[in-house]
Chain A
Amino acid sequence: MATIPTLALSIGWGTTLAIKTIVILMVIPLGALVLGYVFLLKMMSHMQSRLGPMDPGGFHGWYQLVGDGLKFLQKEDIMPAESDRRVFAAAPAVVVMSTFLVFLVIPMGPDLVVKNLDVGVFYALAVSSLSVIGVLMAGWASANKFALLGALRAAAQLIAYELPLLLAVVGVVIQAGTMSLQGIVLSQQRGSVFGWGGLGEPFILTQFIGFALFLVAAQAELTQTPFDMPVAESELVAGYMVEYTGFRFLFFFIGEFGTAFAFSAIAATLFLGGWAIPGLHGDLANILGPLVLFTKLMMVAFLMFWVRFTYPRLREDQLQALAWKFLIPLGLANILLTGIFKVAL
């Protein structure tokens, strides 16, 4: 898009590309920072009856993660002597790159989407699974038994939980009738619940099984407790990331929280209505849309992190059994039900 019609602004092709690039590059670190601060530092602390960082920056320690980031940047770049240097250096970049690519299709307003692909959902899920390669690269190149164990566990887990993720989304696609994320948002905005269009029709109401499935599978994709065997802190001490220090570790960290941000955004878009509130159109939607999406995203992230801080972790075989024997049949049943209701009603 090169114009924002109602604002009567006409921006050239090059400027648009520049703005889009800058937004994508900024939104992941900023999103990771906000999610990390609000949930990891503050929400987790209050759930544990403590305060979290209070001093850095003066006001409730908001500067803590920024300071941590700067600290990581100035550290010495250590590579294990026996590691495969190029693979070791490339692995964090591969993990983070997939997160950046997901944001290309997430709509933040009726006109605020980098590229409104017709197969948006398909593309988003495909690209987010590229991080598995990065994890394997990290584990292998570290030349460390613990890291290898962690990487193998992680790869098996990530591959196993791709399927429930996909099946959960298929239900939404059937109900919306389109794979484009912008189209899904608009169909939720225009829909109605038993004839009342006040809230639109967020798909969470009909696709509650899909929502639960998506959250569980996203939790596993992010290797968060209860699925954090790969980074089991009390056993393998950071698993596949154990040999990484400095800014490479920062990449992994940004990748983890950036992916949480991305998955929350996708869940908010698919199930909660994305940037749309019924009655919000045109110019106002372009300005308020990102804020609405952000609010919904934080609600989904709250659920994910709440579960993360409460539950113990599942053992590897239990985790796999849960995915293959329970979640996938549930997803298939969800699709069946959705199809029946879509055709019958």
Chain B
Amino acid sequence: MSTTNPPAAGFAVDRSALRHLADAQVNVELDTGDMILNLGPQHPATHGTLRIVVRLDGERVVTADPIIGYMHRGYEKLTEFRTYPQITTLINRIDWLSSFANEVPFMDAAERLMSIEAPPRAKYIRTILTELSRIATFLLFLGEMGLQVGALTPAFYGFRDREYVLNLIEAATGGRFHPNFNRIGGIKDDVPWGWIAECRSTMKVVLDACDDFEDLVLGNEIFEARTRGIGIIPGHVGASYGVSGSNLRASGVDWDLRRDGPPYLVYPDLDFKVWTHPDGDSYSRYWVRLQETRESARMVLQCLDAIPAGPIMAKVPLIIKVPEGEIWVETENPLGQMGYYVISKGATGPFRVKIRSASFSNVSIVPWLLRGVYVPDVITILASLYFILGDIDR
């Protein structure tokens, strides 16, 4: 309640509506016996501006409440007043580490509403770029989880090997982080000369890097002691909370939208394995993502062998007006299951876009997961869930 801008006279204030989570936690500070630890918005362990208010009993967590919203940028409101190409630019920035993957479901939704299909070459290049962004974000994860657990070196290897992939994406699209490469009907440009050969050699570097990570981090007995049995998500609990992606597959649930969902891009033509692990702890989440990185590299090599010649853009009018309709498209993004519900009323921009981001649901399990764990394990668990704040808050 602001004292400089008080409500007008006669305005009845509903006091109960003012009580929300952050206030409640501040009042709890007066409790004796427990210590409140604020893993505040600025903290090296939370990947971005996530605030977790943790109530401790000694070194064990009694309750943990994540407070999100510090990075809310109003994406769904922004999309109401922008055209489709402009929105493609903006949604790159939802999950900024794998930004190409964010554009794909939205473009798919728009193309389906228009009942056009991108030509095969465009689909192959889209698939290659999606898998490249998956590799880029997973390499960062493999390095940075080592950092959260205490090893300094894997983080540098993750960043170093990621640079090769980012150089590839830059050579093709012009932007390392924000490609902005999808267009309704295809992609913007064809790839430059020599890109396919460079892509092949980069995939070899990626596979070598995965072997290095396996030796340096996964095989390390100390890492195993820190992550085995920590933060176990049973499969049915994870599914009921909406956890998706590698987190769910690490709990033994065999679900991958590239194989099980409605077909999109060229995944029906590719031969790939979906990796699961029965344990559901932090170790298995790391293991699953390592295997998926290798699998993505193999998928890129398959696509490079099979890429057809042809146009990269279907026949679309100059000013694109998407016909009326509503559609829901979801894809297997690196962070999990990402979906867009697009309502179009026939204009150059959508009427309403609802964004279902993977990390929002992944983080919803944090209060349940962190009960009774030690403080260092809080860091390990948060690192293993791998959420991006831009994805949580949009």
Contacts and interface: CB of A to CB of B under 8 A. Distances in A.
Q: Quick check: do A and B touch in the complex, using CB within 8 A?
A: yes
Interface of A: 44, 47-50, 145, 149, 225-226, 228-229, 232-235, 237, 309-318
Nearest to A317: B374
Interface string B211-235: 0000011001011011000000000
Given A145-B35, A235-B375, A314-B222, A226 B59 contact: no
A234 B148 contact: yes
Interface string B142-164: 00001111111100110010000
Contacts of B270: none
B45 A235 contact: yes
Nearest to B144: A234
Interface of B: 35, 37, 43-45, 59, 146-153, 156-157, 160, 216-217, 220, 222-223, 225-226, 374-377, 379
B222 A235 contact: no
A316 B37 CA distance: 18
Nearest to A237: B44
A48 B376 contact: no
Given A234-B45, A312-B223, A47 B376 contact: no
Contacts of A318: 225-226
Contact of B379 (A47, A225, A228, A234): A234
B222 A313 contact: yes
A313 B153 contact: no
Contacts of B59: 316
B157 A49 contact: yes
7 contacts: A50-B156, A225-B152, A226-B150, A232-B150, A312-B223, A314-B226, A316-B374
Contacts of A50: 156
A310 B376 contact: no
Contacts of B45: 234-235
Given A312-B223, A314-B226, A229 B376 contact: yes
A49 B160 contact: yes
A228 B149 CA distance: 11
A41 B38 CA distance: 33
A230 B114 CA distance: 59
Contact of A315 (B43, B146, B148, B377): B377
B286 to A, nearest CB: 12
Nearest to A308: B152
Contacts of B225: 314-315, 318
Contacts of A315: 225-226, 374, 376-377
B35 A311 contact: no
A44 B156 CA distance: 11
